[in-house]
Amino acid sequence: MTVERTKTFVLFGATGDLAKRMLFPSLYNLSCEGSLPDGFRVIGSGRTAMETAEFHDKVIEALKPTDLYDEAKARKFADAIEYYALDTDKPEEFAGLKTMIGDAEKDGISYYLSTPPSVFAPVVAGLEAAGLTGPHTRIAMEKPIGHDLESSREVNAAVGHAFPEDQVFRVDHYLGKETVQNLIVMRFGNALFEPVWNSRHIEHVQITVAETVGLEGRVSYYDGVGALADMVQNHMLQLLALVAMEPPARYDATSVRDEKVKVLRALRPLDSSTAASNSVRGQYGSGAIDGQPVKSYAEELGKPSNTETFVAVKAFVDNWRWQGVPFYLRTGKRMPAKVSEIAIQFRQVPHSIFTPKRGSLLPNTMVVGLQPDESIRIAMMVKQPGLDRGGIELDEVSLDVSLAAEFDKSRRRVAYERLLLDLIEGDNTLFVRRDEIEAAWMWIDSIHRAWEASNLPARTYTSGTWGPGAAQGMIERDGASWRD
Ligand SMILES: NC(=O)C1=CN([C@@H]2O[C@H](COP(=O)(O)OP(=O)(O)OC[C@H]3O[C@@H](n4cnc5c(N)ncnc54)[C@H](OP(=O)(O)O)[C@@H]3O)[C@@H](O)[C@H]2O)C=CC1
Ligand SMILES: O=C1O[C@H](COP(=O)(O)O)[C@@H](O)[C@H](O)[C@H]1O
């Protein structure tokens, strides 16, 4: 029988950016709340050789911005972390890691790969060769898993050689966000929405993930990858799958992921005849964000590039429920605001009985805000108060659920806290299964191929705007518009 809660946590990539910004702060928050198992042990591993004390100081620095920061608690947490320098180019170094780990496997080990993806397979091979894999171990991996279907299969096969699928936890941090989980509860915890959740009542769906940041020192990773692979392949397709999936029979890893993968497999591929009408690529030029001038992507990169920092795609899910309903996906860097939301645009009522004196009858919209506000808002029609002589006065008002206001939480939880705890506790419902990743890549590959075949350019957009004009054109041709 496998252990329920793993007591040892080994973080590869412990000297990296993600560990500093997200993983150590999240582990610290969990430890402050008493959520970690008794005797929980953290081993950090990076390639750089350094004294353990120096590593502890780095961890303390990483914890300072957290809401729960307390000098004594942070010191205690950091000082308990062991550090082991290991370079996967020197597989013999896994022997030292094994010595450090000792017989901890019997109480369960979670490995977390927060390294460049090229290091995933060598780490897994090193762990396997050192006898550090087994039924009480789990492995979590950051994105991206490969850069196309073929390479993702290679990574999955290498990992699968040492870890059966139920011990593999592919991270998509959007699934750790509160409102993303709330989407499941909203859809399947209320009787209200299911009857209208289909092409008969929904005209289109918009999913926007807009960022104000630019390259942020991730030049070597981002250039050549672009927004489609960086954001759509994972986060945005996971959101789409949650919106579009059929009701799972249970809230468990198999049922939920079985339904999501059906949606991903039903995505209609793009080809060279639809690439230009159903997708737009963009790259930010110079401009201003929050009143501050910012450089263009090419200036930040130091050379011209055809990589897209913005993408808009009109997607279709070819099944009975969603036939003919466009899912407009849009993501970009250097946009006017950091905002992620899903908007469900309902159809107009079949027949209007009103001849309004003022205002017009607008179709309902439901907006699920993921960030910065965690909210659910439904725009609906009401009558304006008054005697309404000469015709009724219509107005649109909003039914608002602000999760922050509703649940007076003293702090906003980092998405990684939830995911790390689920990994430690062995619940992979909020992690991505191998077939999901591969189905997503299959669709993304069709777009990359279509772009290549049709030579689709990355159109320049001014930083601080909502992307190239062509993205407006794409949706406006269908009689809709983006919610800016
Ligand atoms: N940073 C972010 O915001 C996000 C990152 N990710 C993903 O998370 C992962 C980590 O990203 P990030 O922290 O930014 O990357 P960094 O480049 O900042 O860190 C990489 C880490 O991997 C270690 N490493 C690199 N090569 C080797 C090797 N051959 N053997 C052993 N260790 C090695 C580095 O050690 P050392 O520094 O000591 O050389 C470092 O600890 C990537 O897969 C990335 O795509 C996903 C979403 C967001
Ligand atoms: O995975 C990634 O996500 C971030 C955006 O995450 P968010 O939680 O801040 O919305 C993005 O900046 C990065 O390019 C991408 O790799």
The pLDDT tens digits of the residues spanning 91-135 come to: 999 999 999 999 999 999 999 999 999 999 999 999 999 999 999
- Stated as kind and residue range, the H or E segment containing 415 is helix 415-425
Q: Find out whether the beta carbon of 107 lies less than 6 Å from any atom of ligand 1.
A: no
Report the C-alpha gap between 103 and 101 in whole angstroms.
Answer: 6
DSSP classification of residue 337: S
The pLDDT tens digits of the residues spanning 343-370 come to: 999 999 999 998 877 778 999 999 999 9
CA 415 to ligand 2: nearest atom: 8
In terms of DSSP bridges, do strands 8-12 and 109-113 run parallel, antiparallel, or are they unpaired?
A: parallel
Instruction: Tell me what the mean pLDDT of segment 445-459 comes to.
Output: 97
The pLDDT tens digits of the residues spanning 365-394 come to: 999 999 998 899 999 999 999 887 777 889
Report the C-alpha gap between 47 and 16 in whole angstroms.
Answer: 10
The rounded percent of the chain whose pLDDT value lies above 70 is 99
Q: State the distance from the centre of ligand 2 to the C-alpha of 298, rounded, in angstroms.
A: 20
Phi, psi angles (nearest 5°) of residue 307: -70, 135
Report the C-alpha gap between 152 and 360 in whole angstroms.
Answer: 50
Q: Find out whether the beta carbon of 216 lies less than 6 Å from any atom of ligand 1.
A: no
Report the C-alpha gap between 51 and 246 in whole angstroms.
Answer: 52
Which bound ligand lies closest to the C-alpha atom of 341? 2
Helical segments of 163-210, H only: 178-188
Q: Find out whether the beta carbon of 17 lies less than 6 Å from any atom of ligand 1.
A: yes
Which bound ligand lies closest to the C-alpha atom of 335? 2
CA 371 to ligand 2: nearest atom: 10
Q: State the distance from the centre of ligand 2 to the C-alpha of 209, rounded, in angstroms.
A: 9
The pLDDT tens digits of the residues spanning 212-223 come to: 999 888 888 899
pLDDT for position 453: 96
Report the C-alpha gap between 199 and 244 in whole angstroms.
Answer: 11
Q: Find out whether the beta carbon of 89 lies less than 6 Å from any atom of ligand 1.
A: yes
Q: Find out whether the beta carbon of 142 lies less than 6 Å from any atom of ligand 2.
A: no
Q: State the distance from the centre of ligand 1 to the C-alpha of 16, rounded, in angstroms.
A: 5
| 3-state helix/strand/coil string of 53-81 | HHHHHHHHHHHCCCCCCCHHHHHHHHHCC
ipTM higher than the 0.95 cut:
yes
Taking phi over 0 as left and psi of -120 to 50 as alpha, with beta for the rest, 3 belongs to beta
pLDDT for position 28: 98
Question: Buried b vs exposed e over 249-268: b needs ≥16 C-beta within 10 Å?
Answer: eeeebeebbbbbbbbbbbbe
Contact indicator for 32, 73 with CB cutoff of 8 Å: yes
Q: Atom 32, ligand 1: which residue's CA is nearest?
A: 47
- Positive or negative: CA dihedral 241, 243, 245, 247: positive
Report the C-alpha gap between 374 and 342 in whole angstroms.
Answer: 11
pLDDT averaged over every residue in the chain: 95
